[in-house]
Amino acid sequence: MIIQPDKLVYVGVDLHKQHHTAVIIDCWNQKLGEIKFDNKPTAFPLLEKEVKKYTKKGMSVVYGLEDVGGYGRALAVYLTEKSCWVKEVNAKLANARRKSHVTIQKSDSWDAECVAKVLRDELPNLPDAKPVDLYWAISQLVTMRKWQAKSLTGAVKRLHQQLGYHYPSYKKFFSEVDGKTALAFWHKYPSPSRLSGMGAEELAKYLRKLSNNGLSTKKAEQILTLIVEDGDTTRDFQDKRDFIVKGLVKSIRFYGREIARIEQEIESLMKQLGFQLETMTGIELVTAAELVSEIGDIHRFASPDKLARFAGIAPIAVGSGNKHRNYKSKQGNRELHDIIKALAIRQIAVTRTKKEPRNPYFLAYYEQKMAVGKTKQQAIVCIMRKLVNVIYYLMKTKSAYTIPVVSSNEAA
Go through the chain and tell me how many residues it has.
Answer: 412
Question: Does domain 5-131 sit in CATH 3.30.420.10?
Answer: yes
What CA–CA distance (Å, rounded) separates 63 from 89? 10
Q: Is the pLDDT of residue 258 over 70?
A: yes
What CA–CA distance (Å, rounded) separates 396 from 303? 10
The verdict on pTM exceeding 0.85 is: no
| 52 neighbors 35 (Cβ within 8 angstroms) | no
Q: Is the pLDDT of residue 411 over 60?
A: no
Tens digits of per-residue pLDDT, 310-363? 899 987 766 666 776 766 777 788 899 999 999 999 999 988 887 888 999 999
Position 126 scores a pLDDT of 87
Q: Is the pLDDT of residue 280 over 90?
A: yes
The helix/strand/coil state of 191 is: coil
**Terminal CA-to-CA distance of the chain, rounded, Å?**
46
Q: Is the pLDDT of residue 252 over 80?
A: yes
Position 211 scores a pLDDT of 87
Position 412 scores a pLDDT of 46
Tens digits of per-residue pLDDT, 222-239? 999 999 999 999 889 999
Tens digits of per-residue pLDDT, 194-232? 988 888 999 999 899 888 888 888 999 999 999 999 999
Position 65 scores a pLDDT of 95
- Cβ neighbours of residue 155 under 8 Å, at least 6 residues apart? 248, 251, 252, 255
Specify the CATH number of the domain 136-268: 1.10.287
Say if residue 49 is exposed, middle or buried (CB neighbours under 10 Å; 0-12, 13-18, 19+): exposed
Phi–psi pair at 198, nearest 5 degrees: -85, 135
Position 251 scores a pLDDT of 98
The helix/strand/coil state of 150 is: helix
Return the exposure string of 4-29: e unless at least 16 CB atoms fall within 10 Å of the residue's CB, then b. eeeebbbbbbbbbeeebbbbbbbeee
Longest dimension (CA), the chain: 91
Mean pLDDT is lowest, of 11-20, 333-342, 403-412, for 403-412
| 292 neighbors 340 (Cβ within 8 angstroms) | no
Q: What value does the mean pLDDT take over residues 34-42?
A: 96
Phi–psi pair at 232, nearest 5 degrees: -80, 120
Q: Is the pLDDT of residue 157 over 80?
A: yes
Residue type, 213: N
**95 vs 21 pLDDT, higher one:** 21
∠ CA 1-12-313, rounded to 5°: 65
**216 vs 180 pLDDT, higher one:** 180
**91 vs 261 pLDDT, higher one:** 261
What CA–CA distance (Å, rounded) separates 363 from 347? 7
* Per-domain boundaries in the chain: 5-131, 136-268, 275-411
5-131 and 136-268 agree in CATH topology: no
